[in-house]
Amino acid sequence: MAAEKLRDLSQPMDVALLDATVAAFYGTGSKEERTAADQILRELQNNPDMWLQVVHILQSTQNLNTKFFALQVLEGVIKYRWNALPVEQRDGMKNYISEVIVQLSSNEASFRRERLYVNKLNIILVQILKHEWPARWRSFIPDLVSAAKTSETICENCMAILKLLSEEVFDFSRGEMTQQKIKELKQSLNSEFQLIHELCLYVLSASQRTELIRATLATLHAFLSWIPLGYIFESPLLETLLKFFPVPSYRNLTLQCLTEVAALNFGDFYNMQYVKMYNIFTVQLQSILPPTTNIPEAYAHGSSEEQAFIQNLALFFTSFYKSHIRVLESSQENITALLLGLEYLIGISYVDDTEVFKVCLDYWNSLVLELFEAHHNLDNPAVAANLMGLQIPLISGMVDGLGSQLLQRRHLYSGPMSKLRLLMICRMAKPEEVLIVEDENGNIVRETMKDNDVLVQYKIMRETLIYLSHLDHEDTEKQMLKKLSKQLKGEDWTWNNLNTLCWAIGSISGSMMEEQENRFLVMVIRDLLNLCEITKGKDNKAVIASNIIIGALDLYLVEKLGQVFVSVTLVVGYVVGQYPKFLRAHWKFLKTVVNKLFEFMHETHPGVQDMACDTFLKIVQKCKRKFVIIQVGENEPFVSELLSGLPSTIADLEPHQIHTFYESVGNMIQAESDPQKRDEYLQRLMELPNQKWAEIIGQARQSVDFLKDQDVIRTVLNILQTNTSVATSLGTYFLSQITLIFLDMLNVYRMYSELISNSIAEGGPFASKTSYVKLLRSVKRETLKLIETFLDKAEDQPQIGKQFVPPMMDPVLGDYARNVTDARESEVLSLFATIINKYKGAMIDDVPRIFEASFQCTLELVHAYKGGKALLKMITKNFEDYPEHRLKFFSLLRAIATHCFPALIRLSSQLVMDSIIWAFRHTERNIAETGLNLLLEMLKNFQASEFCNQFYRTYFLTIEQEIFAVLTDTFHKPGFKLHVLVLQHLFCLVESGALTEPLWDVATVSYSYPNNTMFVREYTIKLLSTSFPNMTTTEVTQFVNGLFESRNDLSTFKNHIRDFLVQSKEFSAQDNKDLYAEEAAAQRERERQRMLSIPGLIAPNEIQDEMLDS
C-alpha cells in the first residue's frame, strides 16, 4: 500500500513515507525490507515525472539521505533531459537551487551544519551551468561575485562553485562535452576572469578568516593553469602567494598554486619574474626546511601535512625545472639557487614513498634525456641548438661556440648527475618476474609478470641510467665499482643493496663501447666471485628464495627459516647473463658459465634448478652459434659434447625443467647449417624420449589397455611436451622427428578421445572434472599443440601441408564432430586456423569439410543444435560458457574469410553473419575485436565480388544497426576504432555508387528514393532518433549529415562520432580513454623507434637479431 502511494506522482508526494523508505534502504533491518525499499527507489528514480517532486521533497524533509536521493533524480534529468524541458521549468529549477545555496551559506551555523548538502547543491548548480551558461545565463559570473561580497561564508561557498566550474571545464571535459561546447565555456571563463581575479586578490589582502583564505587559494589553484599570464605576473598575485608560503596553515595550498605557475610555459617574456619567484622561494624554503635536513627521515616521522609538503615540494621543483631550468643557468647567483634546488630534489628522491619517487623519477628521466640528446647530437649543430632552446639560424663560426656551451652545461650538471647515478643504483627496481605455478591440470608452467608497476618503474630507471652512462661512462663505472667494493668490505652490506646494485649493472648492458664494457664486466665478475668466497664461509649452500625469478637471467629468491637470502653465485649469473656480447666474445668463460649451470641442475635447493635451466635457455638463445662450431682448443662442438652427457645432465631435473633444457638444445641444433649434422644432433637429442615412446607403442600393440594406466598417460604427456619444446626452437628442421611419431600419435589421440567421450557419457558433465579425464585431455591438447607448433614454425613448404593435413582430417577434425559436447578441445579450432593461415588458398577445397565439422558442433557447446536457428539461441543464452571455443572459432572463421573467401561464399551466409554479429556484441574484448576484424574483411571482400549487391541488400541495414548498438554501449568502448572503420566503410560504399540495386525493400516501401544515399540518410536519422529520444531531430540530422560529409577523412569522421557519443550522453561521467586508444598506440610505436636508435635502451638480450650471434 505504501509503495503504491509513493508511485502515484499525480499529487504531492508523502515525504514522511519517502523518508521511511530511504531509512529502510540504508538501515539495518531485514534483507527483505532493504530489497523492497531498493525496488521502490529504483522505480521512482526511473519515473520521468519524479523530478517534478524534487523541490517539494527538498522543502519538506530533514533527512540528508532523502535530500541526496532527490538531488540524484534531478542530476539525471539535468544530464539527459535538460535541454528538452520547457524554459519556465529550467528557469524555476536553477533559481530554486541558487536560492537554497545562498540561504544555507549566508549563515555560519547552517553553512557548517549542512556542508555536505551544500556541496551536493553546488555540483547540481555547475551541472546546470554546463547547459545554461553563457548563452542563457550571461549574468552568472557577475551575480556570483556580487553575492560573494555580501558575506564571508557566501564568499567561501562561491569560491567552491568557481573551483568546481573550472575543474568541469578544464579538467573533466574530455568525453563529457562536445569540443565546440568546451571551447565556448573556456572563452567565457577567460573573458570574465577579471571579476574573479579581483575578488580573489581582495579576499587574500583583506580577510583574516582561515577557511575563506584556504578556499580562495584552492580556487586559485584550479584557475592558475589556464588564466591569461598578465593576471599572474602583472598584478600583486605572485607576491601575495609568496607572502602566504611561510604560514604553516596555508603552506601546502600556496605551494600547489606556485607549482601551477611554475608549470606554465609561454616563451621568455616573464623570465625575470620566474627568476625572482624562484630565488624568493628558495630563501624562504631554507628557513622552513634547512638544506642539512635528512629528508627521507623527516618524511618517515612527519605528520600527514608535513608529508604532503614534501610531495608538493617535489611537484614544484620538477614543474619549475621542466619549463624554466635554462633561465636559472644565466648567472652564478641563479646557478647557486638551481644547484640548491637540485640538491633538495635528490634528497626527496630517497623518500620511501612510491608516488613521490615517481614524480622525481619522471623529471630526472626528462632532464637526463635532454642532456643526452644535446650531447648525442653534437655532430649535428642545428639539432643541438634546437635542444638547447636556441631559435636562431647557425652560421659556421658559431658551431665551435655551441660545442663549448654544451660542454659547459654538462659540466654545470656533472655534480648533480653523479649523485643521481648513485640514487639510481641504490633504488633500482626489480626487473621482470617469472612465477613457477601449477595449472588446472596439475602441470608445472611458467608465468611472466609483465605489466606491474615495479616493472614500469624499472624500465624508466633503466632508461635514465643508460642516458647517465652515455653522459659519463667513467663516473657510472666508478659509482658501481665503489658500491660493489663497499659490499666486499662489509660496509653498508644488505642482500637488498646487492640486488639493486646488480640490477643496475645489468640494466646498462650495451651502453658502453665493447672494450670498455668487457673491462668493466671483468672487474665486476672478479669482485662478485670474491664476494662468493667471502659468503661461502657464512653459508656453504646457495640459499635462494620463494619461487620468484627476477630479471633477464632471473635471480631467484626463496624464504628459508623465516629469513630471505640471495645467492651471490646466482647474482653472478644474473649480471653475466645481461651481457651476451661479452659471453660471445669469451668462449672459455661462456663454457665455464654453462658448465656451472649444469652443476646447478643437480642442486636440490628449491629454485636453483629452475634458475639454471632458465638461464641456460636465455644464454643459448643469444649465443647459439658458439655451441655448434669447433672452438679453439676443442675437439668437437660443444653441442656434441653436451649430447654425449645428456642423460646424466638431466638426471635430477623435473619434467618441466627437462622441457626447458630440450628447448635450449633445440636452439643450438637450429644454428647448425649442415643438414646432415643437424639431423644427427636431433636424433641424439631425442634418443631418450623416442626410446620410451617406442616401448609404450610396442606394449600398446600387444594390449591397448596398457595406454589406460595413469603413469603411462603421464609419460606420454611428458614425451609430447618434450617434442613440443624442441619443435618450438627447431621449426622446419623438426620434420624428421615428427614424421617418426606422427601416425602413432594420432592413434593415441583417437583412443584417448574415445575414452574421454565414454567417461563423460557414463558419468555426465562432472566426469570431465575428474583427474583421470583431465589427464587424458592434457594428452589430446598437447598433441594438438605439438602439431600446431610445428606447422606454425615450419617454413611455408606446401609438401609439409600435404603430408600432415590429410591424415588429420578424420582423427582430429572428425573426432571433434563426433565427440560429446564437453569433450571437444578448442585447440582443434586454433590448429585449423593456423593451417589455413599457413597454407592459404591451397585449403579452399577443404573448407566445407572443416566448416561442417567445426561450425555446427561448436554451437552445440553453448546450446543444443537444432538446425539453422541454433546460433540465435546460443547468442541469447549467455556470453560466458566455453570462452576458449568462442575465441578460437572466430579466429578460424577469420582465417577462412581472409584466405579462402570463395569457399566462404558457398557456405550458409546467414549463419556466418549471425555468428559475426554475435561475436562483436560479446563483452570479452578479444572475441569482439576478432568479430569486428572479420566483419571488415568480409565487407571489403564482398564489395569486390560479384555478390556485392546481393550481400549488402541483405545485410547493410542490419550491420549498421548492430554497429551503432555496440558503439553507443559502454561495455564495448575498446572496439571504438573498429566500429568507426566499419561505419566509414558503409557510408563510403553507399556514396560511391558501387551499389546499383536499392537497399530498401521495394515490395514493402511505397516511397521510391532517388538513390541509396538518401535512403540510408533517412534510415539512420530514424534509427538514432528512436534510440536517443533525449536528442532533438535537428541534432541527429546534423550528426548524420556530418557522417556523410566527413566520410573520406578518418580523423574528422572519428572526432565527429566522439562528439555524438558525448551528445547522446551514453559515455558521460566515465573513463573514455578507449575512444583515444589508436592515438596512444601510435605514440607508443614512435617511442619504440626512438629507443632503438640509442645504444643500450633496448637491452642486448631483448634484441631479436640473428646477426648478433655471428
| 434 DSSP assignment | E
> What are the grid coordinates assigned to 876, written together?
541469447
Instruction: Give the model's confidence band at 871: pLDDT under 50 very low, under 70 low, under 90 confident, else very high.
Output: very low
Q: Is the pLDDT of residue 402 over 80?
A: no
Of 262, 158, 172, 264, whose CA–CA distance to 216 is shortest? Answer: 158
Residue 374 has a pLDDT of 81
> What are the grid coordinates assigned to 907, written together?
557456405
Question: Can you say whether residue 709 is alpha, beta or left, with left for phi > 0 and alpha for psi between -120 and 50 degrees?
Answer: beta
Least confident residue range of 81-90, 137-146, 989-998: 81-90
Query: What mean pLDDT comes out for the span 582-603?
Result: 85
Query: What mean pLDDT comes out for the span 714-720?
Result: 95
Residue 409 has a pLDDT of 85
Q: Is the pLDDT of residue 546 over 50?
A: no
Q: Is the pLDDT of residue 234 over 60?
A: yes
Who has greater pLDDT, 1093 or 1046? 1046
The one-letter code for the residue type at 925 is R
**Given the DSSP bridges, would you call strands 444-449 and 433-438 parallel, antiparallel or unpaired?**
antiparallel
Q: Is the pLDDT of residue 572 over 60?
A: no
CB atoms within 10 A of CB 515: 8
> Which of 536-545, 689-698, 840-849 has the largest mean confidence?
689-698
Residue 975 has a pLDDT of 86
Residue 867 has a pLDDT of 38
Residue 981: Cβ-neighbour burial (10 angstroms; 0-12, 13-18, 19+):
buried
Residue range 89-135, pLDDT digits in tens: 999 999 999 999 999 999 889 899 999 999 999 999 999 988 888 88
Place of cell 554451437: 859
Q: Helices 398-412 and 414-427, interaxial angle, to 10°?
A: 50
Residue 1092: Cβ-neighbour burial (10 angstroms; 0-12, 13-18, 19+):
exposed
359 and 315 in contact (C-beta within 8 Å)? yes
The CA distance from 978 to 936, in Å, is 8
Residue 911 has a pLDDT of 75
Residue range 490-515, pLDDT digits in tens: 777 777 787 788 888 888 887 888 77
Q: Is the dihedral of CA 1092, 1097, 1101, 1107 positive or negative?
A: positive
Query: What mean pLDDT comes out for the span 291-304?
Result: 94
pLDDT > 90 fraction of the chain, expressed in percent and rounded: 41
545 and 557 in contact (C-beta within 8 Å)? yes
The CA distance from 138 to 920, in Å, is 46
Averaged confidence pLDDT in the chain: 82
159 and 218 in contact (C-beta within 8 Å)? yes
Q: Is the pLDDT of residue 431 over 90?
A: no
The CA distance from 597 to 583, in Å, is 14
Q: Is the pLDDT of residue 606 over 80?
A: no
Query: What mean pLDDT comes out for the span 272-285?
Result: 95
CB atoms within 10 A of CB 20: 17
- C-alpha gyration radius of the chain: 36
Instruction: Give the model's confidence band at 529: pLDDT under 50 very low, under 70 low, under 90 confident, else very high.
Output: low
169 and 185 in contact (C-beta within 8 Å)? yes
Q: Is the pLDDT of residue 74 over 80?
A: yes
Q: Is the pLDDT of residue 1105 over 50?
A: no
Who has greater pLDDT, 702 or 877? 702
The CA distance from 1052 to 589, in Å, is 60
Least confident residue range of 171-185, 327-341, 416-430: 171-185
Of 867, 865, 924, 866, whose CA–CA distance to 890 is shortest? Answer: 924
Residue 267 has a pLDDT of 79
Instruction: Give the model's confidence band at 1084: pLDDT under 50 very low, under 70 low, under 90 confident, else very high.
Output: low
Q: Is the pLDDT of residue 380 over 70?
A: no
Query: What mean pLDDT comes out for the span 900-920?
Result: 79
Q: Is the dihedral of CA 864, 866, 871, 873 positive or negative?
A: negative
199 and 145 in contact (C-beta within 8 Å)? yes
1001 in helix, strand or coil? coil
Of 561, 685, 542, whose CA–CA distance to 610 is shortest? Answer: 542
Residue 47 has a pLDDT of 87
Q: Is the pLDDT of residue 377 over 90?
A: no
449 in helix, strand or coil? strand
896 and 903 in contact (C-beta within 8 Å)? yes
785 in helix, strand or coil? helix
> What are the grid coordinates assigned to 125, written together?
548548480
The one-letter code for the residue type at 277 is M
Of 259, 264, 249, 394, whose CA–CA distance to 318 is shortest? Answer: 259
Least confident residue range of 287-301, 611-625, 777-791, 1056-1070: 1056-1070
> Which of 238-252, 791-805, 829-843 has the largest mean confidence?
238-252
Of 603, 580, 602, 604, whose CA–CA distance to 593 is shortest? Answer: 580
Residue range 733-753, pLDDT digits in tens: 999 999 999 999 999 999 999
> What are the grid coordinates assigned to 417, written together?
648527475
Who has greater pLDDT, 1012 or 889? 1012
Least confident residue range of 271-275, 307-311, 364-368, 910-914: 910-914
Who has greater pLDDT, 1033 or 685? 685
The CA distance from 609 to 649, in Å, is 11
Least confident residue range of 57-71, 313-327, 344-358, 363-377: 363-377
Q: Is the dihedral of CA 784, 785, 788, 791 positive or negative?
A: negative
Residue range 917-972, pLDDT digits in tens: 888 888 788 888 888 998 998 899 888 888 889 899 989 999 999 999 888 877 77
The CA distance from 983 to 978, in Å, is 9
Residue 294 has a pLDDT of 95
> What are the grid coordinates assigned to 644, written together?
654425449
528 and 488 in contact (C-beta within 8 Å)? no
Residue 67 has a pLDDT of 94
Of 463, 427, 431, whose CA–CA distance to 449 is shortest? Answer: 431
Residue 626 has a pLDDT of 93
Query: Does the pTM exceed 0.75?
Result: no
The CA distance from 206 to 219, in Å, is 17
Residue 387 has a pLDDT of 45
pLDDT > 70 fraction of the chain, expressed in percent and rounded: 83
Instruction: Give the model's confidence band at 319: pLDDT under 50 very low, under 70 low, under 90 confident, else very high.
Output: very high
What secondary structure does DSSP assign to 515-583, as a single string?
A: HHHHHHHHHHHHHHHHHHHHHHHH-SS----TTEEETTTTEEEEEETTEEE--HHHHHHHHHHT-HHHH
Instruction: Give the model's confidence band at 583: pLDDT under 50 very low, under 70 low, under 90 confident, else very high.
Output: confident
Q: Is the pLDDT of residue 570 over 70?
A: no
The one-letter code for the residue type at 703 is S
Q: Is the pLDDT of residue 822 over 90?
A: no
Residue 738 has a pLDDT of 94
Residue 562 has a pLDDT of 24
Residue 1037 has a pLDDT of 92
Residue range 971-1018, pLDDT digits in tens: 778 888 999 999 999 999 999 988 889 988 887 777 778 899 999 999
